[in-house]
Chain A
Amino acid sequence: MLTLVLPRLVDVSAVSRRSASVVERNVAALKSVYWLLLLSGFVEPLLYLLSIGVGVGALVGDLPLPDGRLVSYAEFVAPAMLASSAMTGALAETTFNFFGKMKYMKLYDGMIATPVRPFEIALGELGWAMLRGSAYSAAFLAVMVALHLTTVARALTALPAAVLVGFAFGALGMAVSTFMRSWQDFDLMGSAQFTLFLFSGTFVPAQAYPTLLHWLVEVTPLYRSVHLIRGVTLGVGGWAWLLDVLYLVAMMAVGLLVASRRMGRLLYP
């Protein structure tokens, strides 16, 4: 029994060690300009929250939740901003940066000559993206607590949810990036991302859409993310979150698998 299990355990520790070495590489490469970029990733959702949540909110007034409670518009919009900033943060790292490293910097060509494998590179890059994404989410949640848009306890639960959202989108973005031929293809992805941002129950409840659109929206990843985080920060009870979590975990697993497969194909010709 031990001989069966032991090699697997050793393998898991080797995989995580090698993925960690990929993260370490990114830490070493982190230079001062990058900090500005980091800052912008935090400021953008905050601006949306203040202008739309607080500004437009003053015109819109309170919204009824499905359970009958009334919440302010800012309370309604804030979790959606958190979900989309988790998405954007993760995607920035695993699409643009990842593509550049693979295709132009030829970074991974050097890595694969070591014991590090494509799956471990994918995992390491995703982990790195989430270090950044988690920092955004934590800061944003702190602002939400300060503005009385949620409680401390709910914010603490919402953080891992936001991190999961980042992991799922990061993995998906990485998988998609392996199919990209040039920078032009990323324009398409940007549009898709913006469409999701507008129509995922972010600014209005999805129930407000026509039935067909409503159904369509319900299966998109950002809708599930918004649904999950909104449920947590507004303290909606029940088991509806379980579906969201399963959806996002599956998305992450498929994304990672496809990404590492494709990387193997591209890097080991």
Chain B
Amino acid sequence: MKRFGDFVAVDGIDVEVRSGEAFGFLGPNGAGKSSTMRMVGCISPPSGGELRILGMDPVADGPAIRARLGVCPQLDNLDPELTVRENLTVYARYFGIARRAARERADELLDFVQLSERADSKVEPLSGGMKRRLTIARALVNDPEIVLLDEPTTGLDPQARHLVWERLFRLKQQGVTLVLTTHYMDEAEQLCDRLVVMDGGRIVAEGSPRALIERHSTREVVELRFAAESQEPFADKLDGLGERVEVLPDRVLLYVPDGDAAVAEVSALGLNPANVLVRRSGLEDVFLHLTGRTLVD
């Protein structure tokens, strides 16, 4: 649990992350993901409840725990007065890593995130995505057992995102525990063994990506676009078709077990949508269903 004054940011969540697992926190803005990550990273003491990391207490054993964690915060906090390489070597020194080993490790990691060419450049002129990659590299400088990644790929171009995913996947294979937050559903589906969806400081769903889709959505989704001002009247006629009907400004979504069968039923009703798309249902459907489509503050 985490309180800021009277405001409860994280309101009693119960999760257990197993060693070697990739665990994700999803949730809309302000759900309490970063607050949770900061508590796990031992840089924000919990206001209540019990928290154990690597079997230790974050308040009493902060330094010992942090020595074995790697942290990539939501906002980059690289050292602007140092070069790219120095950012890694100096950071390694904070962990007590010997100078030589730090230099070798830095070169390895720069290679890992493909920043070797910029090694002697300052941090400031780097692009946002390069800074992000450097922050990720910095999180790995102490060979951590657990890596905490708060929106690791936000702001990255598709190439860089795939690069990061591939690197994270490799870490997972090496037995490193990954805990990450993300707003990208494809990222969660690709990387996470298990995840929770948070909303308003609470957990609203938990499970593997597959299990969540099975539990909270149908197997397929039919997207129908009608050539008319409003989709509303068509939706009324579709009522009762499939498990759920959802109306968006430009289309109607049918949540159904079998898409093609549903399309046939739509034609049987005499409706003539301008555009029909049948697709498998994904994590995004689950997310939107659980946390609502509108922005609530």
Contacts and interface: CB of A to CB of B under 8 A. Distances in A.
Contacts of A117: 62-63
Nearest to B72: A113
Return the 4 tightest CB-CB contacts between A and B, nearest first.
A115-B63, A114-B94, A29-B81, A110-B77
A262 interface: no
Interface in B61-83: 62-64, 66-67, 69, 71, 73, 77-82
Interface in A99-115: 105-107, 109-115
B101 interface: no
Contact of A113 (B64, B71, B81, B96): B71
Contact of B78 (A21, A110, A267): A110
B86 interface: yes
Interface string B28-48: 000000000000010111000
A113 B90 contact: no
B25 interface: no
B43 A107 contact: no
Contacts of A105: 79-81
Contacts of B91: 110, 114
Interface of B: 4, 41, 43-45, 62-64, 66-67, 69, 71, 73, 77-82, 86, 89-91, 93-96, 138, 142
B86 A116 contact: no
B141 to A, nearest CB: 9
Given A114-B66, A117-B62, A107 B79 contact: yes
Contacts of A25: 79, 82, 90, 93-94
Contacts of B69: 113
A24 B66 contact: no
A37 to B, nearest CB: 14
Contacts of A116: 63, 94
Say whether chain A's binding surface is mostly helix, strand, loop, or mixed. Answer: helix
A17 B96 contact: yes
A113 B79 contact: no
A269 B64 CA distance: 20
5 contacts: A24-B93, A28-B82, A107-B77, A109-B77, A114-B66
A268 interface: yes
B66 A113 contact: yes
Interface residues of A, number: 25
Indicate the member of A17, A113, A267, A269 with the most B CB atoms within 10 Å.
Answer: A113
Interface of A: 14, 17-18, 21-22, 24-25, 28-29, 31, 105-107, 109-117, 267-269
A115 B71 CA distance: 12
Contacts of B78: 110
A114 B80 CA distance: 18
Contact of B44 (A18, A28, A268): A268
B98 to A, nearest CB: 11
Contact of B66 (A14, A21, A115, A269): A115
Contacts of B86: 28
B24 to A, nearest CB: 20
B73 A18 contact: no
A113 B95 contact: no
Nearest to A105: B80
Contacts of A107: 77, 79
Nearest to B78: A110
A14 B86 CA distance: 22
Nearest to A110: B77
Nearest to B64: A115
A269 B4 contact: yes
B128 to A, nearest CB: 16
Contacts of A18: 94, 96
Contacts of A113: 41, 43, 66, 69, 71, 73
A15 B247 CA distance: 61
Given A25-B94, A28-B90, A115-B64, 7 more contacts: A21-B96, A110-B91, A111-B94, A113-B41, A114-B66, A116-B63, A269-B44
B43 A268 contact: yes
A29 B79 contact: yes
B79 A110 contact: yes
A110 B79 CA distance: 8
A157 B12 CA distance: 60
A22 to B, nearest CB: 8
A116 B96 CA distance: 10
Nearest to B138: A110
A59 B100 CA distance: 61
A115 B67 contact: yes
